[in-house]
């Protein structure tokens, strides 16, 4: 049946609340419909990233289309408002703010309104929905803000999980996990190339990406002049 959920999360660097809705059988062809509204506060310095804060809110709609028993495609549209403050003056921020000068308010905060569309493909042949011991799960995702948004950029990401049982009865299983991501700005504004927003950067480190390293601790974070 239909599902409605209220989610809240709070830790040292983030506060988030969202309302989700999902109808898994929106029509007789098995197309699903999902919706979400959210509010988020993010403190980048507490997350091991350079200094800035982001207050954001938005909404999204997603339609899901089953292709067969293993493969599923989803298409979505969304809106996000970002208010970025307490910015540290490193090179990527300076270049980005120069291109976004019209969106900076009297307090020095950057305010953006972005509309996006996204598409994804998921392939799931795990042997169980919970605590799988064999099979793999793959997901490819592409997101792009539409022309006319304050920030014009795209992101793409591929995730894979592979479970390899070590015994016939699956008492012991190895998990291999990987992620590839890429993003960039597109188009031009006033003759200048649009830049990828620094607050959408990829980072590594932590138990979900690279165990043995602190969250977001791997790789360069900022270049100062």
8-64 pLDDT, tens digit each: 999 988 999 999 999 998 887 889 999 999 999 999 888 878 789 999 999 999 999
3-200 CATH fold: Porin (2.40.160)
This prediction has a pTM of 0.86
Domain locations along the chain: 3-200
Among 131, 179, 125, 138, smallest CA distance to 155 is for 179
83-124 pLDDT, tens digit each: 999 887 777 788 888 888 889 898 889 999 999 999 999 999
DSSP state of 49: S
Q: Measuring CA to CA, how many Å separate 90 from each of 143, 171, 198, 214?
A: 26, 50, 11, 22
């Amino acid at each position: 049946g239909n599902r409605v959920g209220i989610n809240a999360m709070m830790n040292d660097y983030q506060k988030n609340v969202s309302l989700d809705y999902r109808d898994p059988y929106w029509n007789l062809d098995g197309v699903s419909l999902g919706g979400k509204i959210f509010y988020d506060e993010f403190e980048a310095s507490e997350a091991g990233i350079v200094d800035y804060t982001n207050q954001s809110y938005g909404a999204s709609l997603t339609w899901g289309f089953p292709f067969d028993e293993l493969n599923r495609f989803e298409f979505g549209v969304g809106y996000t408002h970002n208010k970025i403050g307490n910015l540290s003056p490193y090179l990527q921020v300076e270049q980005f703010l120069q291109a976004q000068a019209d969106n900076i308010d009297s307090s020095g905060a950057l305010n953006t309104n972005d509309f996006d569309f996204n598409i994804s493909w998921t392939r799931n042949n795990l042997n169980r929905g919970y605590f799988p011991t064999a099979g793999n799960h793959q997901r490819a995702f592409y997101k792009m803000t539409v022309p006319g948004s304050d920030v014009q950029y795209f992101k793409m990401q591929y995730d894979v999980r592979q479970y390899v049982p070590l015994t016939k009865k699956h008492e012991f299983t190895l998990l291999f996990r990987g992620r590839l991501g890429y993003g960039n700005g597109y188009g031009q504004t006033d003759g200048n190339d649009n830049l990828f927003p620094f607050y959408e950067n990829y980072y590594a480190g932590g138990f979900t990406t690279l165990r043995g390293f602190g969250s977001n601790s791997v790789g360069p974070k900022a270049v100062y002049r």
